[in-house]
Chain A
Amino acid sequence: MTDMTITNILMAGVGGQGTLLASEILSEVLMQAGYDVKKAEVHGMAQRGGSVVSHVRFGKKVFSPIIPEGDADVLFGFELLETYRYLPLVKKTGAVVVNNLRISPPSVALGKAEYPQDIARKLNERVDNVRIVDGLELAEQAGNSRTVNTVLLGALSNTLAPSLEQWVAAIKSLVPERFQDVNLKAFELGRTAG
C-alpha cells in the first residue's frame, strides 16, 4: 500500500485578492521539494468579488484534488470572514494562518447585516495554532501594497518543510522579473512575522 500521509492546505479569500498566484507558487515549491502535488480551485462565476477557495494537497502520492471535508491541516486565509467561514473544514489540531483584513460582503456594505465580531478569538477557540498576520502593513513595508499574498506565503512557509532556498527559487520562477525583489522582501517579512 502506498504511503497515504497527505498534508492539506485550504486557502480562502475574496475574488481578486491574488489567491491564485499564491497557490501557484505554493504548488511549484512543493513539486520542487519532491512531493506529489494537486491543487483545485473554481474559476468563472466564483470571481467577481465572491468567496473563493483553493485546495492544495501534497504528499508521497495524492489522489483527490479536493480536501476531504474536515481534513484540512492548514487553513490559509486572505480575509477574516472567509477564513472563519471555512473553519469547520479544519482539523482541531490544525493551524490557521490568516491575514488581518476585513472586506465587507454586500449585505454588510448595504447595512443589512453585521460583520462578525471577534473572529480572531473564535478562531483560537477552535484550532490550536492560529497566526494572524498584518499582511497589508508588511507589504507596504516591503514597498508594494500588492504583495500581500507573498507576505502571507512567507508566514505560511514556517509551517511547511521546503527550505528558504526552494521558496526563493519558486518565487523567482513565477513572478515577473521586475517584481521579484519586492516580492522576495515581502516573503522574508512574512516569514519573520509568521
Chain B
Amino acid sequence: MQKTVLSGNEAFARAAYEAGVAVASAYPGTPSTEILENITQYDRIDASWAPNEKVALEVGIGASIGGARTIVTMKHVGVNVAADPLFTFSYTGVRGGLVLVVADDPEMHSSQDEQDSRQYARFAKVPMFEPADSQEALDFTRLAFDVSEQFDTPVFVRSTTRISHSKSIVELGEPLAELPETGLVRNPGKFVMLPSNARVRHPLVEKRLEEMSEWACAQGFNRIEAGDGQLGIITSGVAYQYAREVFPEADILKLGMVYPLPGQMIRDFAARFKTLYVIEELDPFIEEQVRAMGIVVTGKDKVPICGELTPGRLREAFSVNPQRLEPIEEVLPSRPPNMCPGCPHRNVFHALNRLKAYVTGDIGCYTLGFMPPLSAMDTCICMGASIGNATGLSKVLDEEERKKVVAVIGDSTFLHTGINGLMDMVYNKSTATVLILDNSTTGMTGRQDNPATGYTLDGDTAYQVDLEAICRALGVKHVVTIDPFQVDNTRAVIKEAMERPEVSVVITRRPCVLIKHDVVKTSTPLYVDQEKCVACKACLTIGCPAISWESGKVGEKGYCRIDRLICNGCQVCMQLCKFDAFGVCDD
C-alpha cells in the first residue's frame, strides 16, 4: 500500500474513513481540532461541529444506536463536558462501533490544565488504546471500531500533543467497501437506563473489563521488544519512543491498550527482571495498577508527574548520558503569543483596563487580554466559566465593587457553555455585566465555524444564531451591540452597562481579521508623522504588533512607528492619539 507522511490527527481521520465511519462529531480544541477538519475530505462521512463536547458525544451515541460507526473527537478538558453521557453510555454499550479520540496536552502548550485522560478510562470503565506514532494512530483507531462492536463498549483512543501534531511515515490501509447497515432497532432494555435496566447492565460492564484484560494478553497491540535482559520497562504512547531512545538495550513491554491492562502479561514480564521501570507521561496510571498487582517498580519517584516527558528529561531522571547544556547568560526578551494586528478584541480590553473592571475571563484568543500592556483579565477557569464566576463574585461584594465585575466571553464559548450561566444570572437577579465578543469564528483553535457564524464545517450556509435574541429570551432587558473599533463609544457603552443595577449584555461585533468565509477586507495601513508624535506612547497601550517604539538619537525625542506590512488599518491607535500624528498611507 501507499506510504505517506501523516500527522497523528491526519491518521485518526484516515482511520475513521478506512473503518467505515458514517458520522463524526466534535468541538474544536487544541491539539484535537485537525482530526475533524481532515475528516471532511472523505465524502461518505457526515462530519459536523457540535456546540460543545457533550452534544458531540450525544450525537455520536445516537448515530451508534442507529447502527453507524461513529467517531467523536475532543481535547482532554472536553471530556469533562462530555463525561455525563460517557459514563452511562459505558453501561448501554453500542450498536455501531463508537470511538472517542481524546487528545491530551501535557506541558499545557495550549490548555488550562494537563489532566491525564487515562483516568477517565478507568473511571468510566471504558477501554483505551494509546498509539505511539501516526501508524499506530491509524491502526489502533481502526482496530478500536472492531473492539467496540466485539465487546459492546465505546472505546477511547488517547492522543497527546506529540502524537497529534507529530508527523511520521504511514502505510495506508484498504477502506471498508461498505458501511454498516443503519436503521431503527428497538432495544429499550439496553438503551433506556432506568435504574432497573442499569442494574442489569453494570455487572456486564465489570465482566467486559475482566474479559478484555485476559484477551489483551494475546493481542499484537501489547508487545514485548527483547533487549539484553538486564532492565525491563513497561511503557506506552509517546513515552515508549523516549524510552527506546534513552534505553536502547532494555527489554520493553509496550502497551497499546492502557486500560484494561493485560494482567498476566505484565506479571510474566515483571517476573523476568530484577529492575523494572514504568515510564509514562503525567500521572502514575500504569504504575499504580502494576504496584497493586504486588510488583515492585520504579516510576514517578524518578520521572516527573508535571509537564511533558522529553528524551532529555528522561535522561536526567535516570542520570543516563545527561547533557550539560550551556544556558545563554543574557536575559532574552520573551516572545509570547499576541492578538493579531486589527484584532477586534484589542480595544475591548483597552477599555476594560481603563475602566478598572474586574474581568472574569474565558477560553479563546481573548484570553490574551491578560497579557501586558492590556492586562485586563482577572480570572480564567474553563469554557463558559466567566459568567457563573461573575455571578458568584458579585454575591459577596458591596455595591461599589459589584459594579466592577465584568464577564468576557467569545461567541463560540458563549454557545458552548455560557448560555446556562447567563440564564442563572437573570433568574437569580445578579447585577453583573457580560460582554460577548462576537468575532464570528472560533478563533484560537484555527478559525472554525460555530452556530453563530452562519456556516457549517463543510462550508455550507446554516441558520445563524441570533445572539441578541438569545439574551433577551433569557430575560436580559439591556442588550446593546457595538463596533469594538470605535474607541470612545466602546468605553462609554461598557461603562454605562457596568453602572446598571441589573444584568446587562454588551455584544461587541466585528469579524476576526483571519476569518475564512466573508473574508475581511482590511483597510489601508496607517503611518505616524514623526514631527507630530510627542512620544506620549498612548498608542503603545493597546499592544498592537504593528506599532513599535523607536528611541531617538541621543538628545532627540523618540517616536512611535507603524510597520505598514502588518498594519490592517483598524484605526484604533489613531483614535487614541491626541496629537493628530496618525495618517492613512497613500496607496
Contact = CB atoms under 8 A, between A and B. Distances in A.
B337 A108 contact: no
A106 B551 CA distance: 15
Nearest to A46: B109
Interface string B325-363: 111101011111111100000000000000000000000
A73 interface: no
A45 B363 CA distance: 11
Contacts of B33: 43-44
B323 A71 contact: yes
Contact of A106 (B315, B327, B444, B545): B545
Mostly helix, strand, loop or mixed at chain B's interface?
Answer: loop
A14 B335 CA distance: 8
Nearest to A105: B335
Contacts of B584: none
Contacts of B312: 68-70
B315 A68 contact: yes
A105 B446 contact: no
Nearest to B314: A68
Interface string A147-175: 00000000000000000000000000000
A49 B109 contact: no
Interface residues of B, number: 61
B5 A81 contact: no
A38 B311 contact: no
| Interface hub of B133, B338, B446 (most chain A Cβ within 10 A) | B338
A111 B549 contact: yes
B161 interface: yes
Interface string B362-390: 00010010010100000000000000000
A108 B333 contact: yes
A38 B5 CA distance: 9
Interface string A61-99: 011111111110000000001101101110000000000
Contacts of B34: 43
B530 interface: no
A63 B549 contact: no
Given A44-B444, A49-B545, A68-B245, A115 B333 contact: yes
Contacts of B547: 109
B133 A65 contact: yes
Contact of A49 (B327, B337, B444): B337
A9 B540 CA distance: 37
A40 B335 contact: no
A104 interface: yes
Given A27-B5, A40-B162, A66-B162, A88 B333 contact: no
B225 to A, nearest CB: 11
A40 B545 contact: no
Interface residues of A, number: 53
Interface centre among A4, A51, A111 (most CB of B within 10 A): A111
Contact of A109 (B109, B238, B324, B548): B548
Contact of B338 (A27, A28, A50, A114): A50
B245 A42 contact: no
Interface in A17-38: 27-28, 31, 36-38
Given A43-B165, A109-B547, A111-B540, A70 B325 contact: yes
Interface stretch (B166-174, B406-414, B490-498): B166-174
Contacts of A104: 548
Contacts of B311: 64, 66-69, 71
A110 B310 contact: no
Contacts of B543: 106, 110
Given A44-B444, A68-B310, A116-B330, 9 more contacts: A42-B110, A63-B245, A64-B241, A66-B310, A70-B324, A88-B328, A105-B335, A108-B333, A110-B373
The 10 closest A-B pairs by CB, nearest first: A69-B312, A44-B30, A70-B323, A111-B549, A44-B110, A50-B337, A68-B311, A48-B337, A109-B548, A65-B166
Interface of A: 1, 4, 14-15, 27-28, 31, 36-51, 62-71, 81-82, 84-85, 87-89, 104-111, 113-116, 126
